[in-house]
Amino acid sequence: MPCTPRTLGRTGLEAGALGVASSYGAPACAFEEAFERGCNYFYWGSFRTRGMREAIRSICRAGKREELIIVVQSYSRFPLLLELFFDKALRTLGMDGADIMLLGWYNAPPSQRIMDKAMEMKSKGLFRFLALSSHNRSLLPKLADQGIFDLFHVRYNAAHRGAETEVLPHFSSLPVERRPGIVTYTATRWGHLLAPKRMPQGYAAPSASDCYRFVLSNPAVDVCMCGPSDLSQITEALKALSLGPLSPDELDRMRMIGDHLHRHARKFV
């Protein structure tokens, strides 16, 4: 059964609760299965693998391009390369434009030169909405108040819950016509939340679907990203849609595991 779509902030785009990333090597059939279940947020990221490319082309050939939300990311800090690489990504998909351009990993505001180029690219029709990803949570409310960005990608999982106090409440308080969409990533904390050896004594490791359900239990989250490497991983991720939000006891368990992992795992920069 397809998942109920969520409105992606002020963009008005209707997105499935789970997004899928291109970088981990899943075959086309995995992405097509996700799409049939309502997962239409396709993140054409830094590592652009054949599986997602084939799936996008197949979906478009079937006349369903308007049901897709295609996100193209760029880490380029040089305006000329920003457009050059973005255009190359579009050509690889056989497209003239994407739905979203994501400026990747900005822990400080983008330069004015980058912003000017982004607006120029938007005016050319290369994308419709502008997004930004950051590990600097305190930056995002400030940028949201400027009204330039339509979406933000932010890290959020059971071990990294700072977004619950620093980002999500601020966005939830904005009127719908100003509220940027929120997309989260690293729901499994790079797989650490799935590792039995990292668990506190007496606790079994969560499943990947548990991790996605934890994130999606927060009503301020619009889309939770997953990065499947094969069909079995997308099948596991899709369980989150049928099982729905975690119960209060399940949420407490995930927080307990997350706190333990945060205390004992190596620090990530």
pLDDT at 25 over 90: no
pLDDT greater than 50 at residue 93: yes
pLDDT at 4: 76
pLDDT tens-digit readout, 126-180: 999 999 999 999 999 999 999 999 999 999 999 999 999 999 999 998 998 899 9
Identity at 80, one-letter amino acid code: L
Selection from 166, 176, 124, 118 nearest residue 142 by Cα: 166
The confidence score (pLDDT) of residue 269 equals 42
Predicted TM-score of the model (pTM): 0.94
What CA–CA distance (Å, rounded) separates 210 from 58? 30
Average pLDDT, the chain: 94
How far apart CA 149 and CA 127 sit, in angstroms, is 13
Closest of 235, 234, 241 to residue 52, by C-alpha: 234
Helix ranges (H only) for 175-230 are 208-216
- Top-confidence residue, 200 or 2: 200
Which residues pair with residue 43 across a beta bridge?
Answer: 21, 71
Residue 242 neighbours by CB distance under 10 Å: 10
pLDDT digits (tens, 9 = 90+) for 207-255: 999 999 999 999 999 999 999 999 999 999 999 999 999 999 999 999 9
CATH numbers and ranges of domains, the chain: 6-264 (3.20.20.100)
Long-range interactions of 138-142: CB distance < 8 A, separation 24+: 138/166, 139/106, 139/107, 139/108, 139/109, 140/166, 140/167, 140/170, 141/166, 141/167, 141/170, 141/171
The stretches of the chain forming alpha helices (DSSP H) are 28-36, 50-61, 79-93, 112-123, 139-146, 163-166, 168-172, 208-216, 231-243, 248-264
Structure tokens at 82: 């920003």
Q: Which has the minimum average pLDDT: 30-34, 44-48, 108-112? A: 44-48
Q: Which residue has tokens 């998942």?
A: 3
Residue 267: predicted pLDDT: 55
pLDDT of residue 264 exceeding 90: no
Residue 206 to residue 208: CA distance in whole angstroms: 7
First CA to last CA distance, the chain:
39
User: Over the stretch 34-45, which tens digit does the pLDDT of each residue have?
Assistant: 999 999 999 997
Rounded-to-integer distance, Cα 59 and Cα 257, Å: 39
pLDDT of residue 2: 55
For 94-106, write each residue's pLDDT tens digit. 999 999 999 999 9
